[in-house]
Amino acid sequence: MTQDTETLAQIADAVTSLCEAFSGSYWRELDQRRAYPTAFVKAMTEAGYLGALIPEAYGGSGLGLTVAARILETIHATGGNAAALHAQMYVMGTLLRHGSEAQKRKWLPEVASGKLRLQAFGVTEPGAGTETTAITTRAERRGETYVINGQKVWTSRAEHSDLMILLARTTPKEQCTRRSDGLSVFLVDMRKADGLSIRPIPTMINHATTEVYFDNVEVPAANLIGEEGRGFRYVLDGMNAERILIAAECIGDATWFVETARDYANDRVVFGCPIGANQGVQFPIARAYADAQAARLMVCHAAGLYDAGVSCGAEANMAKLLAADASWKAADMCLQTHGGFGFASDFDVERKFRETRLYQVAPISTNLILAHLGEHVLGLPKSY
C-alpha cells in the first residue's frame, strides 16, 4: 500500500471506532424526536475531524478533501449520518481559498478547536432555487458596514451554527453585464446578528434545515470575503467540495445497504436455505456492490483534482450523480431484500432509505447535473 492508502485506512478505522459508540439505537431515537446529534458532533469535534481541512497554521490538521471524503463516507458506512457536521468541511473552500489572512487568523483557530461552529451555508432562496444567480437577498454598503435584507431557505444547521457563509447581491441584477456578477460572499457571525431570525422546516428526515430571514442585519465590511461582486465564483469552490463530499456520503450509504442486505440474506432462512442462495436475491446485492465501487472511483478522482487545485466542476457533478444513483439503487435493493422487516424501524433500513433519497434532489438535483454535462461538457444546446 502507498502511504496515502495507509493513512486513509487508518483514519477510516479510527472513525469507525468512534462511531461504534453511536449505534443504530442512537440515530433512531434522534430520528424519532427530530433532534440534533449533539453528542456525536461533540465527539467528532474533539477528535479533530471537523478541523481536517484547516491548515495546521490555524490549528487544524491540514488534510485534503480526499481525507475529508473518507471521514464522511465512513460515518455513513457505519449507519450514521454526517449531515449535522459536513458543512464545516465543504464551506472551508470559500474561506480558505478566497478569505484574507486576517480573516483566516481570526476565525479558523476557533473553528478548528470547536469553540465556533461554521455549519451554515446561506445560498438558496425561495424564488431562486438552484438558479443561484437569481437570488435577491441584498447587502448594501453603508460606510464600514453592510446592511443585509432578504431570505434564505433550506439553510441546514442554522440553529446549530455560530457562523454562516452567506451569498448576497451587492449590485442590482439589472446593472450587471453577466448574471453571475454583482454577488458577494460574507462571513456572518450569527451570535451578533440583530435582525436575523430562523424558522425550522419540518421534513421527512432528521436534517435540521431552516428558513433564515435577514431584516437590516449589519455585517462589518471586514467580513466580506474576497472582492465585492465576485462571490459567485468563490462559492463554486464550496459547491464543488459539497458535491464531492455528499457523493462520498452516498458511497458510505451504499456500503451500509450492501453489507446490511448481505448479512440479512445470509441469516434469513426460508424453505430450508438462506435467501441469499437465490439468484433473485443475490444478484441485486452484487449489482449494487459493483455500482458503488464504480462510483467510488469517480469520487476519488474528483477529490484528487480538487486537492490539486485543478478545475473539477464536471467531475464533482459526475461524482455526485453516480454516487447518489448507486446509493438509491442500493437502498431499494436492501429494502426489497428485507421484505416487510425493511419497513420496521428497528432494522434502520427505512431510516437510511429516507436519508439517502435526499441526494437525488440535494444539494443539486440529478436532472440539473445532466443538463450541466449536456451543455457545458458535451456542447449540446441549453435545455432550460
Residue percentage of the chain with pLDDT more than 70:
99
Residue ranges of the domains in the chain?
3-113, 118-230, 233-377
Q: Does domain 233-377 have CATH number 1.20.140.10?
A: yes
- Which SS3 state, helix, strand or coil, does residue 196 take? strand
CB 268 within 8 A of CB 245: no
Residues 6+ apart with CB under 8 A from 18: 43, 44, 47
CB 170 within 8 A of CB 184: yes
The ranges of the chain with pLDDT < 70 are 1-3
pTM over 0.75: yes
pLDDT for res 3 = 45
Q: Which fold has domain 118-230?
A: Butyryl-CoA Dehydrogenase, subunit A; domain 2 (2.40.110)
pLDDT for res 337 = 98
Place of cell 453577466: 178
pLDDT for res 5 = 82
CB 323 within 8 A of CB 248: yes
pLDDT for res 92 = 79
List the beta bridge partners of residue 183. Answer: 169, 230
Residues 6+ apart with CB under 8 A from 281: 265, 275, 337
d(CA 133, CA 173): 9
pLDDT for res 255 = 98
pLDDT for res 1 = 33
Over its C-alpha atoms, the chain yields an Rg (Å, rounded) of 21
pLDDT for res 332 = 98
d(CA 235, CA 308): 18
CB 269 within 8 A of CB 275: yes
pLDDT for res 2 = 44
Instruction: Annotate 204-221 with b (16+ C-beta within 10 A) or e (fewer).
Output: ebbbbbbbbbbeebebee
DSSP β-ladder status, 118-122 and 163-169 = parallel
3-113: CATH homologous superfamily? Acyl-CoA dehydrogenase/oxidase, N-terminal domain (1.10.540.10)
